[in-house]
Amino acid sequence: MYILGIETSCDETAAAVVASGERVLSNVVASQFDVHRRYGGVVPELASREHLRAIVPVVRQAMEEAGVGRQELAAVAVTCGPGLVGSLLVGVTYAKALSVSWGLPLIGVNHLEGHIHAVVLEQKQKGDTLEFPALALVVSGGHTHLFWVRLEGEEYAYRLLGRTRDDAAGEAFDKVAKLLGLGYPGGPVIDLLARHGNPRAVRFPMAKMKGNLLDFSFSGLKTAVLRRVQGAGMEEEIRRRRELLRSKPNPSVEEWLETTPQATLDLMASFQNTVAEELVRRAAAAAVEHDARGVIVSGGVACNSWLRQQFSAAAVGLPVFFPAPKLSTDNAAMIAAAAWPKLLRRRFSDLSLAAEPSLSL
Ligand code: KG4
Ligand code: ZN
Q: Where are the domains of the chain?
A: 2-117+326-344, 169-318
**Residue partners of 262: CB distance under 8 A and separation at least 6:** 197
Q: Helix, strand, or coil here: 341?
A: helix
pLDDT at residue 154 in the model: 81
Which whole number is the average pLDDT over 44-73?
Answer: 96
Q: Helix, strand, or coil here: 331?
A: coil
Q: Which ligand is nearest to the CA of 299?
A: 1
* Residue to substitute in 296, 329, 330 for testing ligand 1 pocket (most ligand atoms within 8 angstroms of CB): 329
DSSP string, 264-316: HHHHHHHHHHHHHHHHHHHHHHHHHHTT-S-EEEESGGGG-HHHHHHS-HHHH
Which whole number is the average pLDDT over 273-285?
Answer: 95
Which whole number is the average pLDDT over 29-48?
Answer: 88
Residue among 146, 139, 144, 197 at smallest CA distance from 166: 144
Residue among 72, 19, 29, 58 at smallest CA distance from 337: 19
In the CATH hierarchy, which fold is given to the domain comprising 169-318? Nucleotidyltransferase; domain 5 (3.30.420)
* Residue to substitute in 116, 117, 140, 191 for testing ligand 1 pocket (most ligand atoms within 8 angstroms of CB): 140
User: Position 206: which residue type?
Assistant: M
- Is 2-117+326-344's fold the same as 169-318's? yes
Would you call 107 exposed, middle or buried from its count of C-beta atoms within 10 A (0-12, 13-18, 19+)?
A: buried
Tell whether the model's pLDDT for residue 237 goes beyond 90: yes
Confidence of residue 167 (pLDDT cuts 50, 70, 90): very high
* Cβ(98)–Cβ(76) below 8 Å: yes
Strand pairing of 73-81 and 2-7? parallel
Which whole number is the average pLDDT over 23-33?
Answer: 94
Confidence of residue 233 (pLDDT cuts 50, 70, 90): confident
116-120-126 Cα angle (round to 5): 145
pLDDT at residue 33 in the model: 82
Confidence of residue 316 (pLDDT cuts 50, 70, 90): confident
How many Å lie between the centroid of ligand 1 and the Cα of residue 331?
Answer: 12
6 forms beta bridges with 15, 78
Mean pLDDT, the chain, whole residue set: 95
Residue among 191, 223, 227 at smallest CA distance from 207: 223
pLDDT digits (tens, 9 = 90+) for 193-218: 999 999 999 999 888 888 899 999 99
Residues whose beta carbons lie less than 5 angstroms from ion ligand 2: 140, 330
Percent of the chain scored above 90 by pLDDT? Answer: 86
How many Å lie between the centroid of ligand 1 and the Cα of residue 304?
Answer: 8
Architecture label for domain 2-117+326-344: 2-Layer Sandwich (3.30)
| Ligand 1 shell residues, CB under 6 Å | 10, 140-142, 170, 173-174, 185-188, 191, 299-301, 303-304, 329-330
Whole-number Å distance between alpha carbons of 179 and 221: 13
160 forms beta bridges with 147
